Structure 1
Amino acid sequence: MLDFFGSIGHAIMVPLYYAVSFVLVGIHKLLSTVLDPAGGAAWVLSIVGLTLVIRAALIPLFVKQIKSSRNMQLIQPKVRELQKKYGHDRERLAQETMKLYKDSGTNPFASCLPILLQMPIFLALFRMLDQASKKGKAHGFLNEELAKQFGDSKLFDTIPVSGTFLNTGGVTGVMVIAAILVVAMTATTFLTQRQLMSKNMPADALSGPYAQQQKMLLYVLPVVFAVGGIAFPIGVLVYWTVSNLWTMCQQFYVIRNNPAPGTPAADAKAARDRAKAERKGLTLETPATESSVAVIDEKPAPARQQPQRQTKAQRNKKKKKR
Structure 2
Amino acid sequence: MLVLLSGCVGQDTNGNPTGLIWTLLGQPMSTLITFFAENQALGYGVAIILVTIIVRVIILPLGLYQAQKAAYQTEKMAYMQPILAPIQERMRNAQTQEEKLLANQEFMAAQRENGLNPFGGIGCLPILIQMPFFSALFFAAQHTPGIAGSSWMNIPLDSPSMLLTILTGVLYLIQSALTLVGVTEEQRKQMQSMVLISPLMIMFFSFSSPAGVALYWLVGGFFSIIQQLITMYVVRPRLRKQVAKEFEENPPKTPSQFGAAFGAGASASPLKDVTPPSSQNRQQANKKRNAGKQRSR
**TM-score w.r.t. structure 2 length?**
0.57
Counterparts of 1:185 and 1:116, CA distance in 2: 23
Count matched residues. Answer: 222
Identity over aligned pairs, percent: 16
Equivalent position SS for 1:58: helix
Report the alpha carbon displacement of residue 212 of structure 1 after superposing the two structures with TM: 1.0
Pairing 1:42-191 to 2, within 5 Å after superposition: 42-85=47-90, 87=94, 88-89=97-98, 90-102=100-112, 103-110=114-121, 121-130=133-142, 132=143, 147-149=144-146, 151-152=147-148, 154-156=150-152, 159-164=155-160, 178-191=161-174
AA aligned opposite 2:111: Y
Alignment of 1:150-299 (within 5 A): 151-152=147-148, 154-156=150-152, 159-164=155-160, 178-198=161-181, 200-201=182-183, 205-206=184-185, 208=186, 210-259=187-236
| Structure 1 residues 62-115: Cα deviation after superposition (integer angstroms, max 9, x where no partner) | 222322333344334433322345544454444444443343343524469677
Confirm or deny: 8 A CA contact 1:155 1:161 kept in the other structure: yes
Q: Which has the higher contact order (CA 8 A, sep 6+)?
A: 2
Question: Distance between the aligned counterparts of 1:31 and 1:54, measured in 2?
Answer: 21
> Do 1:48 and 1:239's aligned partners in 2 also have CA atoms closer than 8 Å?
no
The answer to whether the 8 A contact 1:189-1:222 is kept is yes
Which 4+ residue blocks in structure 1 deviate beyond 6 angstroms?
Answer: 7-11, 114-117
Q: What is the CA–CA distance in structure 2 between the aligned matches of 1:15 and 1:157, rounded to whole Å? A: 34
Q: 1:123 to 1:8 in 2, by over 3 A?
A: closer
Relative to structure 1, is the Cα distance of residues 193 and 44 closer, same or farther in structure 2, using a 3 angstrom cutoff? Answer: closer
Q: Contact 1:185 / 1:241 at 8 angstroms: preserved in 2?
A: yes
Letter of the 1:108 partner, please give it.
F
Match of residue 46 from structure 2: 41
**1:178-236 CA deviation, whole Å, 9 max, x = no partner?**
223222222222222323324x23xxx22x3x221222222332233233321122232
Match of 1:16 in 2: 21
Contact map agreement 1:44 1:238 (CA 8 A) in 2:
yes
What is the letter of the counterpart of residue 64 of structure 1?
K
Could you say if the C-alpha distance between residues 30 and 224 of structure 1 is closer, same or farther in structure 2, counting changes exceeding 3 Å?
Answer: closer
> Hey, what's the Cα distance between the residues in 1 that align with 2:65 and 2:6?
28
Cα offset for 1:32? 6.2
CA deviations over 1:93-151 (Å, ceiling 9, x no partner):
44444443343343524469677765665444444554x3xxxxxxxxxxxxxx434x4
Structure 1 unaligned regions, length at least 5: 1-6, 133-146, 165-177, 267-322
> What does residue 315 of structure 1 align with?
none
Measured in 2, the distance between the counterparts of 1:11 and 1:230 equals 22
SS of residue in 1 equivalent to 2:175: helix
Query: Does the Cα contact within 8 Å between 2:52 and 2:137 map onto a contact in 1?
Result: no
Amino acid at match of 2:221: N
**What amino acid is the match of 1:221?**
S
* TM-score (normalizing by structure 1): 0.54
Larger-gyration structure (1/2): 1
- Contiguous gaps of at least 5 residues in structure 2: 10-18, 242-297
Measure the CA separation in 2 of the matches of 1:95 and 1:12: 40
Q: 1:91 to 1:118 in 2, by over 3 A?
A: farther
Query: Could you say what the CA RMSD is over the residues aligned between the two structures, in angstroms?
Result: 4.0
Deviation of 1:60 after TM superposition, in Å, equals 1.9
* Distance in 1 between residues matched to 2:83 and 2:115, nearest whole Å: 11
| Separation in structure 2 between the aligned mates of residue 73 and residue 92 of structure 1, nearest angstrom | 23
Structure 2: how far apart are the matches of 1:216 and 1:98?
24
**Rounded Cα–Cα distance in structure 2 between residues aligned with 1:79 and 1:116:** 32
